Amino acid sequence: MTQIKTEPQTIDIGIGGMTCASCVARVEKALNKVPGVTSATVNLATESARIAVADPELTDARLRRVIRDAGYEPRSMEAAEAADNNSSPWAGFAPVAWGLLLSAPLVLPMLGDLWGQHWMLPAWVQFALATPVQFILGARFYKAGWHALKALTGNMDLLVSLGTTAGWLLSVWLWLTSSGHHAPHLYFEGSAVVITLVLLGKWLEARAKRQTTEAIRALHALRPDKAHWIGEDGEVDVPVDEILTGDLIVVRPGERFPLDGDLVEGQTQVDESMLTGEPLPVSKAAGAQLTGGSINGDGRVLMRVTAVGHETVLSRIIRLVEDAQAAKAPIQRLVDKVAEIFVPVVLLVALLTLAAWLFMGASFETALIHAVAVLVIACPCALGLATPVAIMAGTGVAARHGILIKDAQALETAHRVQTVAFDKTGTLTVGQPRLTQHVAAPGQDGTTTLRWAASVQSGSEHPLARAVTAAAKDQGLTVPEASEVSAVPGRGVQAMVEGRTLLLGSLRWLQQEGMDTALWADEVQALQAQGATLSALAERTPEGVQGLLLMAFGDEPKAGAAEALTALRARGLKLVMISGDNQAAAEAMARRLGLRPEDGEVLADVLPGDKAAQVQKLREGGRIVAMVGDGVNDAPALAAADVGLAMGNGTDVAMHAAGITLMRGDVALVGAALDISARTVAKIRQNLFWAFAYNVAGIPLAALGYLNPVIAGGAMALSSVSVMSNALLLKRWKPRD
């Protein structure tokens, strides 16, 4: 019996209640223990888990139960997204407001001490104000901390609940054991303010996080809900989800195209900036491809749907961005390992702090306050947010400018690239042959002979034939009708035009037919040295085959390609063009692009199957290599490189093999992709530095008695917010002009 091997299934689940990197580690550990789970990645910034499941019988409900047993709230991704989309800027602020309202009377009298005034509230008033904050507003910390204890792990909530409870209990003890003649100093304000500040920090985090997910929400908003469907009864508005492949739909001026399709009737200008980042509208006529989400200009058009649902370009883009934001960068894995042991170490340090102060003769009150300060300031919130928020902001802003980063590893690696290898055709060049030069035979008129050539080729779909007809059209020539057209496979075509028997094809075939190519000897030699493909037009006469027109075909460099390569070289990068063309042709195009064949920047005569091997050679010596390509034959090379960049005008195969897709097919975006990688990694390093520095500096200061719990709580909240704010600076990034 043959066993069918099933591909791993990916399940996304939202998770509520996570507060720090330790929470992430705990949920991941719980999910990875489930039989049938191949991998589980949890993202604190998106509050979600991406689980790869090999067992088809493992249900979504089972995984949700595991998350709940770990002490967290499983949520549907749709519900989480809807909550983010519909929430106002002040959503979730109510607990913070209550905390501020109840804590303010506890803190304000302390200001009187600055002027020698003692305005301390009676103990029972302090108790009445602090207790609701401690046990009602702070209930979330107790609940999550209890789940952590049951799992024999620790998290931020456990540290906060232990620290603030210790301060509250100490205050109650001092109040109850004090004599009536002496009012002791109580610490109700410390526990209340710490909880309030942590709640404020979490609210600011949530508000900032909504900004990091704007890219995804903006992409979802591009999809219209309705489409004008052409049915048996004429034009009817139906939900987009009911549209099938092959249906005809009308798109009115100013509307977004609801799905992908081909333009059947009408012409218009289309704004595709949401896909490509290119602000200029693109002209579309019958037969042109239309992409869902782009904006129709001033023409009413009829389109035939070619892709629906998850098959549309927009859906694939959304998936790519979501995958990138859910992915975990290699550097984050190290952070997670540190965070896993961080909380137990902090608990030990707090106990040692308590013991050390008691040993040195301090009162239990003083020793406990210092231990509480250690617990509060050591919360690893910023540590868990440092990497994911930067990745979310970086991939989001890149997507807005036409750079789709598929995975976090490509994002982290791209800035270290030392060598960039380019495919030639379709990547550095337009990828469509053009008539670059035509030379009429002596005594012949170039315009007339070009008209005849276009006539002979008018019915052919061959790329060179299209180049001839396009050249005639560009010159505004009237092309006569050809008759008795007959193709000679692999050689050319023969036809009657205006009473003349004309032959158009390769020089070798025409030579065999009796044409003398000596009349173009110099031109043929020069053009072949440039790597041009040559064809000729000739007339069959009673005297023999007479040459009329020599035509040279060649690809053209993409607009701005040479400037983009110069900019990359200025960054200190080694550039290489890999081509299947002969050496002369490849070098000729390379020089037009500003490359230097003499410096080894051209690899010619490379078979499609050998491109990956060439990339591997470039990687020798530990060099980091990026490969840029567009075709099916580039996919192995893209996968073999450290970073693969696929042109968005290329094939789906190439886009799947690459870690980064350049939607506009613009070579300048290669430099932009490397730049956003460098900026994002810099933000990650800055965030991790400050997160680690905060804890490394804060814990000793708290242990030595230089920080009280209130200041520690404020610093902890500030650290998380500062990490989020620093990452959001990436939203200002724009590709260099």
Whether pLDDT at 3 is above 50: no
Could you tell me which residue, 349 or 283, shows the higher pLDDT? 349
Torsion (CA) 655, 659, 664, 665 in degrees, nearest 10? -70
Mean pLDDT of 22-28: 83
Mean pLDDT of 339-353: 82
Two tokens, residue 700: 């000793």
Give the range among 46-55, 315-324, 682-691 with minimum mean pLDDT.
315-324
Catalytically annotated residue among 84, 407, 423, 666: 423
Closest CA to 732 of 692, 679, 682: 679
Confidence tier at 628 by pLDDT (50, 70, 90): very high
Give the range among 116-125, 220-229, 260-269 with minimum mean pLDDT.
116-125
Residue 166: predicted pLDDT: 82
Could you tell me which residue, 283 or 31, shows the higher pLDDT? 31
Alpha helix ranges (H) inside 530-572: 561-570
Residue 727: predicted pLDDT: 86
Rounded alpha-carbon distances, angstroms, from residue 722 to 205, 389, 717, 726: 9, 11, 9, 6
Q: How far does Cα 28 stand from its chain's mean position?
A: 23
Q: SS3 of 483, please?
A: strand
Phi-psi bin for 705: left (phi > 0), alpha (psi -120 to 50), beta? Answer: left
Q: What is the pLDDT of residues 500-537, one digit of tens each?
A: 899 998 888 888 888 888 888 888 888 877 777 788 99
Mean pLDDT of 18-31: 82
Q: What is the pLDDT of residues 325-335, one digit of tens each?
A: 666 667 766 67
Whether pLDDT at 209 is above 90: no
Could you tell me which residue, 393 or 323, shows the higher pLDDT? 393
Rounded alpha-carbon distances, angstroms, from residue 414 to 386, 423, 674, 684, 729: 19, 18, 5, 14, 20
Integer Cα distance of 182 and 670 in angstroms:
73
Integer Cα distance of 687 and 681 in angstroms:
10
Helix %, strand %, coil % for the chain, to 5?
Answer: 55, 20, 30
Q: What is the pLDDT of residues 130-170, one digit of tens each?
A: 999 999 998 988 887 887 777 777 666 777 788 788 888 88
Q: SS3 of 135, please?
A: helix
Cα separation of the two ends of the chain: 61
Torsion (CA) 39, 75, 411, 387 in degrees, nearest 10? -100
Confidence tier at 638 by pLDDT (50, 70, 90): confident
For 17, counting Cβ atoms within 10 Å of its Cβ (0-12 exposed, 13-18 middle, 19+ buried), the class is: buried
Give the range among 359-368, 628-637, 646-655 with minimum mean pLDDT.
646-655
Two tokens, residue 66: 């595991």
Mean pLDDT of 15-30: 82
Confidence tier at 123 by pLDDT (50, 70, 90): confident
Q: SS3 of 248, please?
A: strand
Two tokens, residue 370: 């210092």
Catalytic, 675? Answer no
Q: What is the pLDDT of residues 439-476, one digit of tens each?
A: 888 888 888 999 999 998 887 766 678 889 989 988 88
Q: In this structure, what DSSP letter does residue 610 have?
A: G
Mean pLDDT of 245-273: 90
Residue 183: predicted pLDDT: 59
Integer Cα distance of 311 and 3 in angstroms:
29
606, 614 Cβ separation under 8 angstroms: yes
Two tokens, residue 702: 């708290």
Average pLDDT, the chain: 82
Q: What percent of the chain has pLDDT over 90?
A: 21
Q: What is the pLDDT of residues 528-576, one digit of tens each?
A: 777 777 889 999 988 888 999 999 887 788 888 999 999 999 999 999 9
Closest CA to 451 of 570, 549, 344, 573: 549
Residue 437: predicted pLDDT: 86
Confidence tier at 247 by pLDDT (50, 70, 90): very high
Could you tell me which residue, 198 or 284, shows the higher pLDDT? 284
Confidence tier at 277 by pLDDT (50, 70, 90): low
Q: What is the pLDDT of residues 178-202, one digit of tens each?
A: 766 555 677 787 788 878 877 876 7
Mean pLDDT of 269-295: 78
Q: SS3 of 118, please?
A: coil
Residue 359: predicted pLDDT: 93
Rounded alpha-carbon distances, angstroms, from residue 591 to 282, 524, 566, 595, 645: 30, 20, 12, 5, 23
Confidence tier at 589 by pLDDT (50, 70, 90): confident
Could you tell me which residue, 43 or 118, shows the higher pLDDT? 43
Q: What is the pLDDT of residues 378-418, one digit of tens each?
A: 766 677 677 778 888 888 888 888 888 877 788 888 999 99
Confidence tier at 276 by pLDDT (50, 70, 90): low
Residue 336: predicted pLDDT: 66
Residue 127: predicted pLDDT: 92
Reduce the secondary structure of 305-358 to three states and give it as a string: EEECHHHCHHHHHHHHHHHHHHCCCHHHHHHHHHHHHHHHHHHHHHHHHHHHHH
Q: What is the pLDDT of residues 101-112, one digit of tens each?
A: 998 888 777 665
Neighbouring residues of 2: CB distance < 8 A, sequence distance ≥ 6: none
Residue 298: predicted pLDDT: 80
Mean pLDDT of 603-615: 82
